[in-house]
Chains A and B, each alone.
Chain A
Amino acid sequence: MSALAETPARPRVRPGSLALLLVTLTYFGYLAGYPYGLGFLVAAGAVVLAAFLRASRSGANAGYAPAPVLAALALEAVVAPVGFGTELFAGFAALAFLVWLADDPSRPTGGPRRSLPTIAVPSLALGIAWVSGIILPAGAVPLGVAGGLLALTLAAVAYLVGSPSLFDREEA
């Protein structure tokens, strides 16, 4: 039998990224302020469900694995009150979600390391946003500027998504 046939089966769960997602999302759920620890339960349930979907043998089910985590993240972010560090943990939870996505057991190992440059961009943006939120004084003008920038970003993203050829670079 050839080496190709002897390739061992990959583990169906990658514990490192799953633990990171579980910790950040459940802590964010705790901070979200749902009564009776509901936020915590929603976050933990979403992570368990996502892990279960990913570990299932059906490829179609694995495709839906990000949905519960995304839903839990959105539900918690919508009700989370402003507080020192809450918004930072919202960002961390989203970044941990990206790391977990990159650590897909159906793909070769090393996904999080290969996706570091991709994750670095939103991490940097998150850091700048958080530092700006702390350093800049509160008021209508900075809020307006931030809102304008966000609207501009959304418009730019929508434009880029609609024009994929803009990403092409001609060879020299």
Chain B
Amino acid sequence: MSDSPSRPIGWRPLSVTFVGVAAVLVFVAVLSRDPVPIFAALPLLLAPIAAGVVGPRRSPRIRLTLTIEGAAAEVQLRGAIAPPPEVDARDLFVEFERPASLREVSPPKFERSASEVRFRVDWTAPEPIITEVRPPTVLWRDPMGLVERPTVSSATPTVISRYPPELLRIGAVRLERTTPLPGESRSRRVGESGEFHGIRLARPEDSPRQINWRASARAGHPLANEYDLDKTGDILLLLDARPTPLGSEVDERLFSIVRAAALGLSDSFLTVKSRVGLGVFGEFLDVVPLATGRTQRVRIETALREARISTAFAPAERCAVSVRRHFPPGLTTVVFSSLADESSTDLSPYLRRRGYPVVILSPSPFPLITAAFPLAGVDELLARRIGKLVRRNRIARAWQEAPTIDWDDYWSLGKFVEFVRRPRLRRVG
């Protein structure tokens, strides 16, 4: 339980109105020497004070459980709030702060009893997202609505990430390793014929040959051998966070989609123990160095959650120089860029020249633009056709430098996954 300090009682507007009306009535009573207004004023005067005294005398410490469910675009918040015994749960008000990138499907549903409030909230994500959901604000409010007091809970914000489900399959792709261990002789074979790496807890999918029976007998629980070549290689996810002529609103939404996809990609590769690095290039390059494991997942998630579109445009060469400083050459690099203008297509040549095989995943801005500025009739058709031609031309020119995947259906990355599973990457050199 956190040590959050108790917050003072809050007078609701009705209390102030009561006191004001009561003061006027008392004033009139004194002027007219008539006791009737005083009798009418007395309950109005005393009710707010009584409500404050009768209610909890410090911020109630509630127990808040919050779980987030749902797949793909669905986001369901379920939870329960249990106040201390002296507070009636029916007097608790629950307010949800919906992130701007989510939409409400239906109003929150509550089931209340004297000891608990259970709730369910249905939101939907129109596009892939990674965002933080704060715990709901819970207020105790007296039944007359005169006073209220914030509650205290130890609940922490929860991160919601929704990305195309195809990304879960991409981790099976074998990547190039860039950092052989000292003395390691690189085998082309995979599995247990590789270099012995260590012993770990056995998993249900481990074959009997993979179980280290002697070590298991010594430890008293099943252990399995792990080989270096069980691990796949390394990957760098590079996000282009430079502003484009599309405007800040479209840029932010596209970048939000890109952040979610990058998280999905990193999740998938981290699951198969690949090393994943992250770079966010705005004015300068912010990096999460190559590593693997759960901690790395948290690092990447935090970095992606905090990444924002920069306000200043920076030259692509600066990115390539910084990448070379932080990551070894030869590292498979996925560049996320909208390719919205000519200047945003220049990242891949600079990266290639420094020895990074690049794949570009480019979210198309068209679905967002057409939804935001709907045109009617012939104009719309013409504008769409011209826009598609320009986009196709830009993708074709980007292909000259690196494989480029046009991503126009935000909830599907099938094209990208298919490409990466059957790579036609050009070797650099």
Contact = CB atoms under 8 A, between A and B. Distances in A.
Contact of B46 (A115, A121, A167): A121
B68 interface: no
B8 A86 contact: no
A77 B37 contact: yes
B349 to A, nearest CB: 55
Nearest to A102: B143
Range class of the B interface residue count:
35 or more
A73 B37 CA distance: 9
B391 interface: no
Given A104-B145, A150-B26, A118 B47 contact: yes
Interface string A85-115: 0111011011101100110100110111011
A152 to B, nearest CB: 12
A62 to B, nearest CB: 10
Interface string A4-42: 110100000000000000000000000000000000000
Q: Is chain A's interface secondary structure helix, strand, loop, or mixed overall?
A: helix
B25 A157 contact: no
Given A114-B91, A118-B142, A91 B43 contact: yes
Given A7-B109, A90-B39, A167-B8, A2 B52 contact: no
B143 A4 contact: no
Contacts of A126: 39, 42-43
Interface string B393-428: 000000000000000000000000000000000000
Contacts of A78: 25, 28, 32, 37
B164 to A, nearest CB: 28
A167 B90 contact: no
Nearest to A156: B49
A77 B49 contact: no
B39 A98 contact: no
B395 to A, nearest CB: 45
Interface string B40-55: 1111111111111110
B190 to A, nearest CB: 46
Given A5-B120, A154-B23, A157-B49, A90 B144 contact: no
B38 interface: yes
Contacts of A133: 35
A56 B196 CA distance: 72
Contacts of A81: 34, 36
B58 A86 contact: no
Given A82-B35, A161-B19, A164-B11, A94 B90 contact: no
Nearest to B11: A161
A119 B30 contact: no
Interface in B1-41: 6, 8-11, 14-19, 21-26, 28, 30, 32, 34-41
Closest 9 CB pairs of A and B: A169-B57, A121-B50, A77-B40, A122-B43, A111-B143, A94-B43, A164-B8, A108-B90, A90-B40
Interface of B: 6, 8-11, 14-19, 21-26, 28, 30, 32, 34-54, 57-58, 88, 90-91, 109-112, 118-120, 142-146
19 contacts: A5-B109, A7-B109, A77-B39, A77-B40, A81-B36, A90-B37, A91-B40, A94-B44, A98-B47, A101-B14, A104-B145, A115-B51, A117-B54, A118-B144, A150-B26, A161-B15, A165-B9, A167-B57, A171-B58
Interface of A: 2-5, 7, 66-67, 70, 73-74, 76-78, 80-82, 86-88, 90-91, 93-95, 97-98, 101-102, 104, 107-108, 110-112, 114-115, 117-123, 125-126, 129-130, 133, 147, 150, 153-154, 157-158, 160-161, 164-165, 167-171
